[in-house]
Amino acid sequence: MVVLVTGSSGQLGQSLQFIAPNYTNIEFVFCDSKTLDITSFNNCETIFSKYKPDFCINAAAYTAVDKAESEPEIAFEINVNGPKNLAKVCKLNNTVLIHISTDFVFDGNKSLPYTEKDIPNPTGVYGQTKLDGEIAIQQIWNKHYIIRTSWVYSQFGNNFMKTMLRLASERDTISVVNDQIGTPTNAVDLANTIVKIIISKKLKFGIYNYSNEGQCSWYDFAKKIFEINNITINLLPIPTTSFPTPAKRPKFSVLDKSEIKNTFDLEINSWEESLKNTPL
């Protein structure tokens, strides 16, 4: 079985490379943006005709949430036209497309976990382009899994955990927002889940939510990062209003994972457990 991965230099791409040796019956083809530019249909066609993948995991995305507000065209190109090209080329090759989306498709106004049936209502450019990418895939190719996830971190790439550890080495005091509630997702857990979906051979296509279990604020997340790493620091909780950003964040974006757990018989670690087991 051939599984092609786009965006191989990102967090999820690196996490998939990290777990790939555990799945010897899968031939992974890892492509970064230089090898496979998803915004170029011709480039997609060339790579697909060379490797003839059974599955394509689209881990390529424009994820700079704030920057997207001033670069909407670039975000659109990568998050909408990219998935559109992949859906077209997957259809031509009868390749199953697994596309990673985000909790940012929701406005965060709920107080109960979001299900796959909740109506998306993004509040910024990033969320809107990710939603438009989902819609493009749904219109073009039925053999797809769209996985919405949240607060992704890992030992790879740039993420909240890495930022907190770096700041702790530079400062005595750190202020972190405590009124945005969500769930951290370990990228290696997400990578393993994607591969489990592939090897399950259950072709139950559609949209699924995935994150680790539980919920917390960014402040709680930071506190746990320092606790696990035995770092003593003055950590201050602050409201979102004290930390204005170009893009509005969802106030509450916990995802309900019942659907993915029941369909693929998954057990999901709590966010605290996964954080504890994350190497630095």
Residue 23 structural domain = 2-159+185-215+253-270
Q: Is there a domain that residue 242 lies in?
A: no
Q: Which long-range contacts (CB under 8 A, 24 or more apart) does 201-205 make?
A: 202/263, 202/264, 203/96, 203/143, 204/263, 204/264, 205/96, 205/142, 205/143, 205/144, 205/145
- Domains in the chain: how many in total? 1
> What does the pLDDT look like over 158-172, one tens digit per residue?
999 999 999 999 999
pLDDT of residue 280: 82
pLDDT tops 90 at residue 40: yes
Q: Is residue 169, in this structure, part of any structural domain at all?
A: no
**Contact in structure between 64 and 123 (CB atoms under 8 Å):** no
Residue 164 lies in a domain: no
In a domain? residue 235: no
**Tell me: the pLDDT tens digits for 14-34?**
999 999 999 999 999 999 999
* 153 included as an active-site residue: no
Q: Within a domain: residue 143?
A: yes
pTM for the whole structure = 0.97
Query: Residue 112 falls within a domain, yes or no?
Result: yes
Q: Per residue in 120-140, pLDDT tens?
A: 999 999 999 999 999 999 999
232-267 pLDDT, tens digit per residue, is 999 999 999 999 999 999 999 999 999 999 999 999
> How far from chain centre, in Å, is Cα 112?
21
Residue 231 lies in a domain: no
CATH number at residue 259: 3.40.50.720
Q: What is the mean pLDDT of the chain?
A: 97
Residue of 51, 126, 153, 208 marked catalytic: 126
Provide the pLDDT for residue 163.
97
User: Is residue 168 one of the residues assigned to a domain?
Assistant: no
Q: Mean pLDDT over residues 53-81, rounded?
A: 98
User: What's the pLDDT tens digit per position in 77-118?
Assistant: 999 999 999 999 999 999 999 999 999 999 999 999 999 999
